[in-house]
Structure 1
């Protein structure tokens, strides 16, 4: 068994520490900014020594933002709830529609299946601005503008292709003989899918759901145009911190901390599924 010398272990530990500091520094800095006033943040040169304050978080929770021009009403907590509701519901719907479709594309080879699958994937390639104008017109005609249902529907352009292709690749990695043996035992197609394919594809489905949730959470353009302030997610609601009297950097930092907390916690909880799902060929296809 090959062993490493103390110098190699020291160099490796130093390298890992430097890499972690490089990638974690922006997050740590934003976290520290969220406890500072604008005067402290804009101080030159910047300093790590400051008197912490909870005013930024208090302003976000109460919805009252104090600016140089006076008191400003904001709906950040409503925007945060909107993001959670829209992302969760969109991913749930995307999984209900995308997982059976992915299984069908993986197991049922029919004429035009690859063309249909690539067409669905191409929705991820197209920039949102390409479809935004037609969607706006259609949504106004159908009465879907400024509705949760309309936003959840359009969010499928983000989550459904991602779920479909990741889960499809994972289903293709599952040996078909296992399912055939279960079918020969007298079970139908739906029972095979539910009891054999779904459990074996669990890590891939979890990875696809997590990535889809992050992409849905970070969406900005669709919600900016298709929804009003009371239904917009936190990515759009953060624009309220840019006021005529200046940018409220402390509130922006506090808003970033609160907005990334759900996705960060979800990623930490599901990182085992994410690593396993992506490393075992779930992105093949």
Structure 2
């Protein structure tokens, strides 16, 4: 009797999880369906329609969509790379060293992530025009540090704090230099944290809209801004808009699938306790 109740509860639980999963991903499924609909059928709510690839042809072959994707990859990837190079040493310093107002500095760095983008984008617009960074890759990569670096520093800082300092002391006793300890011992241990923070930073940078809308124009157009071109002045091509949105989600999904094995914390975290 208990076995039957257990099996029944498992079946009910799995069914409820399946229902919730369908509910959660249904907007993505519906967007994918719209991408195969013509403009005359896009407003129908039935699953029966005449599929067409005209929207994909119009977006991928008849427009500069590939260039927009390239711009987004350069800007988002470059901003994450800069954040990793600069943010990891900063995270280590905040985790290991004690100095005056350390927590205030850490909180100030984090506050950059939650500050409204419109708060700084207008002054940056005037500064960028004067120093020649307006509508450039470097300008967007620079300003994207307000999005990527605070997140990466705080996530990686937590991973460094999970590693007992006795591991570093033991390595120093064995004759290792600080650089050898950092790159050969600590970096492999915090690799899952770096990968997870880099993925989140890439997603936030990829989805940024306000910064590229104000600080870029014709030379650099990330996909988030370029998608608005499919909303015409006379009519909205929802099928083409769905294609652009669907294809733009592929890089982040592929990136997440490629690094999913690194998203789990290393087994050595907390191996030595003080």
Pairwise CA distance, 1:275:
4.8
> Pick from 101, 109, 113: which aligns with 1:112?
101
TM-score by length of 1: 0.89
1:212 and 2:211 are equivalent in the alignment: no
Q: 1:71 aligns to what?
A: none
Residue of structure 2 equivalent to 1:57:
56
CA distance in 1, matches of 2:203, 2:32: 20
Deviation at 1:166, TM superposition (A): 0.4
- Counterparts of 1:245 and 1:140, CA distance in 2: 33
Using the TM superposition, give the Cα deviation of residue 126 of structure 1 relative to its aligned residue in structure 2, in angstroms: 0.8
For each residue in 1:210-254, what CA deviation from the matched residue of structure 2 results, as whole angstroms up to 9, or x when unmatched?
A: 000000000000000000133111000001011122110100111
**Aligned mates of 1:87, 1:246 — CA distance in 2:** 31
Residues 158-188 of structure 1, C-alpha deviations (whole Å, 9 max, x = no match): 0000000000011000111111111121122
Partner of 2:118: 129
Post-superposition CA distance 1:186-215 (Å, at most 9, x none): 122121111111011011111000000000
* RMSD across aligned positions (CA): 1.7
Runs of 4+ in 1 over 4 A off after TM superposition: none
Asked whether the equivalents of residues 34 and 42 of structure 2 are also in contact (C-alpha less than 8 Å), the reply is yes
Structure 1 stretches lacking a partner, 5+ long: 64-73
**1:163 maps to 2:152:** yes
Deviation, structure 1 residue 6: 2.3
Which is worse superposed, 197-206 or 268-277? 268-277
* Distance in structure 1 (CA, Å) of the matches to 2:67 and 2:232: 19
Alpha-carbon deviations, 1:84-120, whole Å to 9, x = none?
1111111011000001110111111122222222211
